[in-house]
Structure 1
Amino acid sequence: MNRIFTFLLLQSVCLGALLAQPNRRTQDESTLPGKRSELNVRNATYPRLLPGNRIEFKIKAPDAQKVQIDLGRKYDLVRNTNGEWSCITDSLTQGFHYYFLIIDGVSVADPASESFYGCSMMASGVEIPYPDGDTRFHIADVPHGDIRIKRYFSKTANSWRRMFVYCPPGYDTSTQSYPVLYLQHGGGEDERGWSNQGRTDIIMDNLIAKGKAEPMIIVMTDGNTNDFENELLKECIPFIEKNFRVKANRNNRALAGLSMGGIQTLNAGIPNLDYFAYLGVFSSGWWANPTPFGGGNDTEKYYKMLQNKKDDYNTKLKQFWISMGGKEDIAYNNCQIMMKRFDQIGIKYTYFETPGGHTWPVWRESLYQFAPLLFK
């Protein structure tokens, strides 16, 4: 009897909490503007997508003195007599965008949104739809692979760690071995980034179905480590080659990453030419000046490696691919300076630029462009 009473009491408390939540679907949505964001939690009516790729936010916070939305740019919300705060953004680029609520100066995740680890905290997200007919980043009626979570003990880090592994369609029913792309996230993110925000599995399923990319395994590791090079070479690669059917040679290994992951790609890929035949650097580049994180600027040692073995790099790297999110990308200047040094040395590379800044829409596009070049 006590258990039944406790259960009913908990149900009552939970129901009361749900009814108290703002912006739940308690009214006919046909009376509301636009449509709810696909990343809203169940039953949350706001944020809403409006024509012109704008977003309307509405937050109920009757005791707040000031409410803002931070989408890279901060928007001030206006309060109505019911204690609801609202605003409409400018037009946003298609794809995924982090955002935060700022309530009386404190940044928090929006309880109406799914949460994503970015900017070194749990953030909210909105997805701006791509134009009609652009299905590259949407689930399609094609064979699907899957993403597997694998845990391993790292002697390098002396701790348990985790990686996300994309296996292409048909992996479990085939006997073939596959090439591998090791794909790194950016600063303030972790191994979930490429899976959740990047839609790696959707991108690859669509590319493979169209015959544009070779079926491959993609390994998304946690780059938050003090020794990424050894973590990758001594822990991650051996684990993958022991536990998955992969082709264990340099011609069938690629390494790529965005932002911080791009620098990790450079720092681990350049000294280890015997491991990788493909390198991809998205929205990144070595610091042009001493880094703000201390330790000075040690990138000259990598330029010296490239200079001393220029012919080896130009011959053995089948792709040295660099992408940037236009001049608004915060890594743009560092990247331009780095490529000028490559030109002076005589290092061959391919450069791709797309507008969008330092954002996930740019990195999704980068993966979509880079993956078809691999393992041909």
Structure 2
Amino acid sequence: MKMIKQISSIFVLCVFVSVNTMGQVVEDFIPSPVNQPGREYPQVNSEGRVRAQIMAPDANYVQLDIGGVKYDMVKDENGLWTGESAPQDQGFHYYQLNIDGASVPDPGTNYFYGAGRWGSGIEIPAYDGQFYAMKDVPHGLVSAVNYYSKLTQSFRRCFVYTPPGYEANTDERYPVLYLQHGSFEDETGWPGQGKANLIIDNLIAAEKAAPMIVVMDNGYAYKPQDNTADNIRPVSVFEEVMITEIIPMIDTKFRTMPERKHRAIAGLSMGANQTMRIIMNNLDKFSNYGGFSGTSNYPSANEIDVETFLDGKFNDGKKVNEQIDVLWLGLGTKEPEPFPGSIGAFRKMLDKQGIEHTYYESQGTAHEWQTWRRSLYQYAQLLFKNK
């Protein structure tokens, strides 16, 4: 009998913003927690508004560009431009400044790789931010691992989180979660914007998750191009890199539990697409899947033909249930199409096939890092229960 487990956000939504009946900006701005050291701007207030400043005395116009909206800034007599946005959703957001038509990072913030570039980021305090906060608990180590890929004929890098006690408990071996980023991001996304290490630290400290290794690699991997007319488009080989290069390297360099029951894979958006294909093509390597805001039918919301989808990998529901311990899907309630439609179509296919899965909705978030942080928090608690 099929079992569909549907859960909603465990967090109780509270009133976070200040009420201002006159519609004026609430003047309780404080510096963003991801500012560069000593920088007072950008700032965030209790409404979730972002206020930015930049000195540009020769500029003709400057705008704050966040959430797909540009807000005009005002210059004072000294050439200092100031402006603020409308209230933003809680969590992390990319943004930039537009100076006389040129989009540039804000020099007041740390820089994050997203939207295909290094740029500014802002953190809007969230009512549920404690699950990824820096706390006085044992912390794991995030290491940068450089390696040469024969498939791409290039040097690559992944970040590897090892849990608290890894260095001291030298006889202990650990399960591994392979965690992937989304489109136009890279391996810095999860340890940076995603705060994956802090999420896992806090879960382990609270005894809500098993100690695990987390591997965060770059999902962009291509064969070298020969630049002939017939080979002008790059060919992705990320699945091959994962299976034949990354996993063997991690099992060699780290004290892993190198069996499929002790491996999980997950990804957000583009990464959800990639990781679903990887697990369904390599069920001898993985037994747990997490899709955050995506599946392999992206972007189609049409009914899925189970006979042809992923070469019929979901055709035998009973077999899928036997092979996958955790099949987990998450989505923000404010996500735009095609994500709700494509994930909805995928879930209908799972229901029809009697395939067990867990579905989670992140309340009040869109296609953004707060959705994916919450997704990791929920997903990680279900992994490796019988390691």
Tell me how far apart the structure 1 counterparts of residues 379 and 336 of structure 2 sit (CA, whole Å). Answer: 19
Give the length in aligned residue pairs. Answer: 339
3-state SS of paired residue (1:195):
coil
Could you tell me which of 284, 296, 299 is aligned with 2:294? 284
**Which residue, 49, 56, 59 being the options, matches 1:61?**
56
Identify the residue that residue 232 of structure 1 maps to in structure 2: 242
TM-score by length of 1: 0.85
Counterpart in 2 of 1:348?
Answer: 356
Once the two structures are superposed, the pairs formed by residues 4-19 of structure 1 within 5 Å of their partners are: none
The one-letter code matched in structure 2 to 1:325 is: G
Letter in 1 for 2:217: T
Structure 2 residue aligned with 1:20: none
Mapped to 2, the partners of 1:117 and 1:242 lie a distance apart of 29
Q: Which TM-score applies when normalising by structure 2? A: 0.83
Identical aligned residues as a percent: 41
Partner of 1:130: 126
2:135 match:
140
1:369 aligns with 2:378: yes
Instruction: Go from structure 1 to structure 2 and tell me whether the alpha carbon gap of 1:47 and 1:300 turns closer, same or farther (over 3 Å shift).
Output: farther
Q: How far apart are residue 106 of structure 1 and its match?
A: 2.3
Task: Return the alpha-carbon distance in structure 2 between the equivalents of residues 299 and 227 of structure 1.
Answer: 25
The answer to which structure, 1 or 2, has the higher relative contact order (CA under 8 A, 6+ apart) is 2
CA shift for structure 1 position 288: 5.3
Helix, strand or coil for the counterpart of 1:324?
strand
Counterpart check, 1:257 vs 2:257: no
Q: CA deviation at 1:274?
A: 1.4
C-alpha separation in 2, matches of 1:145 and 1:40:
24
What is the CA-CA distance between 1:134 and the residue it aligns to? 4.8
Amino acid at match of 2:257: K
- Counterpart in 2 of 1:119? 115
- How far apart are the structure 2 equivalents of 1:252 and 1:288? 28
Bigger radius of gyration, 1 or 2? 1
Distance 1:114 1:340 in 2: 42
Structure 2: how far apart are the matches of 1:364 and 1:324? 11
Aligned-residue offset at 1:348: 2.3
Query: Mind listing any 5+ residue stretches in structure 1 that lack a counterpart?
Result: 1-31, 292-296
Query: Judging changes above 3 Å, is the alpha-carbon distance between structure 1 residues 343 and 304 closer, same or farther for their aligned structure 2 residues?
Result: farther
Of 38-47 and 304-313, deviating more is 304-313
Q: Is the 1:306–1:347 contact (alpha carbons within 8 Å) kept by the matching residues of 2? A: no
Deviation for aligned residue 1:65: 2.8
Q: Structure 2: 5+ residue runs without aligned partners?
A: 1-26, 222-235
Residue 77 of structure 1 is aligned with which of 72, 77, 80? 72
Match for residue 346 of structure 2 among 338, 344, 353:
338
Q: Deviations over 1:143-202 (max 9, x none)?
A: 110100111111121111111000000000111100000000111111110001111111
- Tell me if structure 2 keeps the 8 A contact 1:288–1:337: no
Hey, what's the Cα distance between the residues in 2 that align with 1:176 and 1:239? 18
Matched residue SS, 2:367:
coil
1:171 aligns to 2:178 (yes or no): no
Deviation at residue 112 of structure 1 after TM alignment: 1.2
Partner residue, 1:268 = 278
User: 2:196 aligned with 1:200, yes or no?
Assistant: yes
Output the CA distance in 2 between the equivalents of 1:163 and 1:81.
45
Kept in 1, the 8 Å contact 2:180–2:268? The answer is yes
5 Å-filtered alignment, 1:176-191, equals 176-191=172-187
SS of 1:341's equivalent in the other structure is helix
Distance 2:44 2:89 in 1: 12
Equivalent residue for 2:322?
Answer: 315
